[in-house]
Amino acid sequence: MIGNRGTFVLIAGGWCGTWAWRDVIAGLRDLGHQVTAPTLTGLGERRHIGNATADLSTHIEDVVVHMEMEDLRNVTLVGWSYGGIVTTGVLSRAPERVKSMIYLDAFVPEDGKAWIDYASPEARANIEACKQNDVAVPPPPLGYFKVTDPKIVNFISHRLTNHPWRTLFEPVQVSVYESNLQILYIRCLRHEQTALTEARERTKKAGARIVNMDADHFSPLTAPDDIVGVLAQFA
């Protein structure tokens, strides 16, 4: 499939916006691909809109409406981290627009489950506390993700946004993957997490191709050339 020109819609992880894809967007566009990366409500440059009220349905709607307004078809839908929850919901809403799914070190939910169902006990306790106090969830320390490059740490730290807690508690509707749907899971080897291992296995059972990458969880910024290389081959 090398040489094809694809249409990519990139969905960032929690606490992040379009800014996290800056190098991946540039790299894919340099190769001639059509690329968009809508920021979800309450995050990034949209942190002042709906941060206190957005739920998962809001984020799914963000992407569905974006594809409709831009008339995007035959889309390769890329979900990174929390973005995998969103893209899975988008597939259920607009399967006719999606050609392939790429999960980048992402959560892949089961039908009727929410992000919180896959959280570690410590993370769950912190996020439950945010729910009780009705406040957005602060980002984890970057050390948790093993991001160490000072320039990248500085770039990320100034842009992370507290995440709307409702998006992490709303269950997602999961469609049965169509037999002609292409699925890829990119595993970042420097970031092992039980929930992501289980997610990867679920996609594997659904016929996904698995690619292992020597990268940390913030690979869109720390290993963008590698990400572009894999995505371009899957266009």
Chunked mean pLDDT (size 10), the chain, 235 residues: 79 98 98 98 96 97 98 98 98 96 97 95 95 96 86 94 98 89 94 89 92 96 97 91
At 41-83, the pLDDT tens digits run 999 999 999 999 999 999 999 999 999 999 999 999 999 999 9
Residue-level pLDDT at 56: 98
SS3 96: helix
- Does 127 fall in a domain? yes
For residues 102 and 110, the answer to whether their CB atoms sit within 8 Å is no
- Write the CATH number for 132: 3.40.50.1820
* Strand arrangement, sheet containing 7-11: 34-36, 7-11, 75-80, 98-104, 182-188, 209-213
DSSP lists the bridge partners of residue 213 as 188
Radius of gyration for the chain, computed over Cα atoms and rounded to the nearest angstrom: 16
DSSP lists the bridge partners of residue 78 as 10, 102
Q: Chain centroid to CA 23: how far?
A: 16
Q: pTM of the entire structure?
A: 0.95
- Which residue shows structure tokens 């070190």? 105
Whole-angstrom Cα distance, residue 95 to residue 76? 11
Domain holding 74, by residue range, is: 7-233
Question: How many domains, the chain?
Answer: 1
- Does 185 fall in a domain? yes
Residue-level pLDDT at 3: 54
Whole-angstrom Cα distance, residue 120 to residue 195? 8
Residue-level pLDDT at 1: 40
- Does 2 fall in a domain? no
**What sign for the dihedral angle of Cα 45, 49, 51, 57?**
negative
SS3 48: coil
Cα–Cα distance list, 186 to 44, 146, 175 (Å): 24, 18, 21
At 103-122, the pLDDT tens digits run 999 999 999 999 999 999 99
55: its two tokens: 């739920």
Q: What is the DSSP letter of 226?
A: H
